[in-house]
Structure 1
């Protein structure tokens, strides 16, 4: 089956009617009965009965909007919601344990990762069921078990190869769970014969098993919501939260969420997203890597908006700077925190190399703190102290955030600024690097690993998406590299064959041959040379994912 056929298959599934029959599909995995008990499945079935059939409608609205943009329309602020943007309102409030989020660490729901992240010098750990997790059924279930143990405070891990023992420190970071995006299904649970939204699975299971203990500890059921594209999707989440709060006799606003603004359409609806979720939301986050990917995907038919090498698209690029500053201004106007983006670097092996890494991190985080962000993300505990020191300097010891920075002196940020083309070269070196990164990431993902260190960066689905869609965009618009080469499907295929040889040399033949690079390269080639851009590599990748 081609990548296009796989995506079409998913579209057909999400358009199917939904009613009231929940079934667990596929092989049993260890711990399944603990997580999928009667109470949890009862909640999940109720959520599916009330809300699952709206998801294909929301996805269809995305497609309709994208079709208009493909035909020449450019994204802009919504005239029909101007009253919300001009209105005098604010969010409900921020719990005490979320008012200070100056450094957050993110990573998958792996047991050792959870312990190390919660013990790091950070305020928050975002446990990720989305971009850094390849959602095999075993990992989805085990991830819920791991988080349940973490909330209970009794999570432990002993490394089988070294015997090293890991356990929680007395004062761990605050835990937030990131659920999957609305476009992703969970094929191991069906409702009336159809796979259900992965987002509902992650939300329902984490909430049900942990809300009592979290509230008893003075915290709460906190979530990160990814890849929203409109305030209508935020409204859907608000209804889900309100339904669950009423079902469990909780005060309205008990469930709290942070929404990632990581799609180009969403940046024009930030105030509306805050408004729809005003009872539950506490912050917006600059999901910068997915945002760059979304810029490519949304403007894919616009030849004047083609991006250069990924390495040239930094946060001081005009369209990204406008995005960051607008998010801060919007959030602080409404009483919400404005979180900065990810430092994807990982510590290097030598002192000299590591100093260079830390210098890059300092520059990035100083820009965010100076702009007025209330906190930032790191991908590795080894970067936490650097990020914490910078935000401590800007926030100070007597404050917990930078909500006082309103950016009211800024001129209004126009749609043209948010869409401004990005200068920079398209190089052969950059294209070859994109190929090596994407093929190694896809290979790891289909083996069940969604968070992969490659060439000094912690790569997840978002960064791999940039790598493959950049090349697709260059091919479609017949762009040339800085050396004069025309980027064509044939050039890409030649480079892919050459870079697979280089990857084998880097990894060693034994490791390479034992891996799934043939499958990964086939998928990569299909989705990069397809005439229509495949929305997410994880859609066809899910078909290949180890069960």
Structure 2
């Protein structure tokens, strides 16, 4: 597992922590440097194309299925690669940050797959980023067992009972400012992917699996093509056969929904299917069309997966994947079991209904955010799949989805409720407080909230303000109420930072596309020039 020597170009701009030297080896940094050297400019190009597309749509250009790729969609002969070892049966997948406690709980949970999430569920403190890489190595090497100061023991079950590991790197829009290449920050996606692949690809192959990934926030086929080329070079550099990498793409942007087949086509040698990223999908819809009154959404709790435009999205997803022999994985159930039996029973009943709809629609599996939800999800999919690992044979030829169907938001338009406004502000404030202190996944009001749910909460406030269905005075009053309540709960919460972040991301004239890049640079980057 070595690469040809490079002149050292990747510099670490922060002091090293405990065991960081195991990850930030010269060879690993050289490997990341090769990826950055090959693809950093193309990454900037796809980001420019995102901005151009956003401007076109904002100026009134229609969004539809691309005419130039009609032949790809019409060609019935191509299919994605067959399932890789450990990815044939994916009826239950659990997601969470790559910390040690979550790793042991997720791998032992009974889920078929654990998605170690460096993106939405991880606040990108440097220690979290490198600590997550250490967690993954330790999990694969089975040296992750530990006991908490309170005496609770965490240890891995037998290998045949463990979930398959998939890794979600950060999206193309994010930088890792603790690393520098030729004077510029390194794309965070290449850091997360590159370090894991360098250290763990061969380890996973030796264990009978492979290096598997989830790819977030893609907006079009060009971004999928870029990832595919990253995979090709990475495999070549380490002497790993092409096609060993497998990746599932989250369809969580409105523009990607119009290029599902094209995304599968670009990644077909490395594809492990598509996933329904429901909260980011709604977030993307508002980012893209928030200036239009016909895309004004009500409370997020009222925008369920049975809404016509969400049904069109998920049914097209199933049909597209199964047409091409690809797995399709359903959306997240974020409920966190608590101590109140009646509330738990109601929450589990809602999860069951959600999973029953997905299984009956043809999904091959679904996501949960907590180990306590694994049994109900597994039971539902067991009832539909039986002993079969998936239902790829259900091609859903009955589904016929038009561009208008995917954009039929006006059929659920309604004003926000006062409770919906307060909940969105409360969730945003509490999530920002956790994220600024290094926690990317946090239980709030019985739900596991992450960056995706915080994003939909804050952009809804922005959208409602823009269209004057709520006023700034009301938002400010609720904001101060929620900050006061947070202060009573947590005397150490950084109130001024939370307030400023909320104002910049939810109440400014122009909507920031993501809250994370600005907040990361302002609050989480801790540079201390090393080795200068």
- For normalisation by structure 1, the TM-score amounts to 0.92
Show the counterpart of 1:495. 478
Instruction: List aligned pairs for 1:48-447, cutoff 5 A.
Output: 48-87=36-75, 88-160=77-149, 162-170=150-158, 171-397=161-387, 399-410=388-399, 412-421=400-409, 422-447=412-437
Following TM superposition, by how much is the alpha carbon of 1:497 offset from its aligned partner in structure 2, in angstroms?
1.2
Structure 2: distance between partners of 1:210 and 1:28: 21
1:539 corresponds to 2:517: yes
Structure 2: distance between partners of 1:112 and 1:502: 29
Following TM superposition, by how much is the alpha carbon of 1:120 offset from its aligned partner in structure 2, in angstroms?
0.2
Q: What do the CA deviations read for 1:77-114 (whole angstroms, capped 9, x no partner)?
A: 10011000001211122113101000000000111100
Total equivalences in the alignment:
514
Structure 2, unaligned stretches of length 5 or more? Answer: 1-6, 527-532
1:520 corresponds to 2:498: yes
Q: What do the CA deviations read for 1:352-406 (whole angstroms, capped 9, x no partner)?
A: 1111111010011111111110000000000100000000001112x10010111
Between 1:243-252 and 1:375-384, the stretch displaced more is 243-252
Following TM superposition, by how much is the alpha carbon of 1:20 offset from its aligned partner in structure 2, in angstroms?
7.8
Structure 2: distance between partners of 1:71 and 1:197: 30
Structure 2: distance between partners of 1:37 and 1:342: 36
Structure 2: distance between partners of 1:124 and 1:334: 22
SS of residue matched to 2:154: strand
Structure 2: distance between partners of 1:76 and 1:20: 45
Between 1:51-60 and 1:371-380, the stretch displaced more is 51-60
Following TM superposition, by how much is the alpha carbon of 1:31 offset from its aligned partner in structure 2, in angstroms?
1.6
Structure 2: distance between partners of 1:381 and 1:473: 34
**Are the equivalent residues in 2 in contact too, given 1:148–1:209 (CA < 8 A)?**
yes
Following TM superposition, by how much is the alpha carbon of 1:318 offset from its aligned partner in structure 2, in angstroms?
0.8
Structure 2: distance between partners of 1:104 and 1:180: 19
Between 1:194-203 and 1:22-31, the stretch displaced more is 22-31
Following TM superposition, by how much is the alpha carbon of 1:124 offset from its aligned partner in structure 2, in angstroms?
0.3
Aligned-pair Cα RMSD in Å: 1.3
Between 1:90-99 and 1:357-366, the stretch displaced more is 90-99
Q: What do the CA deviations read for 1:148-189 (whole angstroms, capped 9, x no partner)?
A: 0001122112212x1211111002110001100000100000
**Are the equivalent residues in 2 in contact too, given 1:106–1:125 (CA < 8 A)?**
yes
Structure 2: distance between partners of 1:139 and 1:302: 39
- For normalisation by structure 2, the TM-score amounts to 0.95
**Are the equivalent residues in 1 in contact too, given 2:85–2:210 (CA < 8 A)?**
no
Structure 1: distance between partners of 2:383 and 2:516: 39
SS of residue matched to 1:97: coil
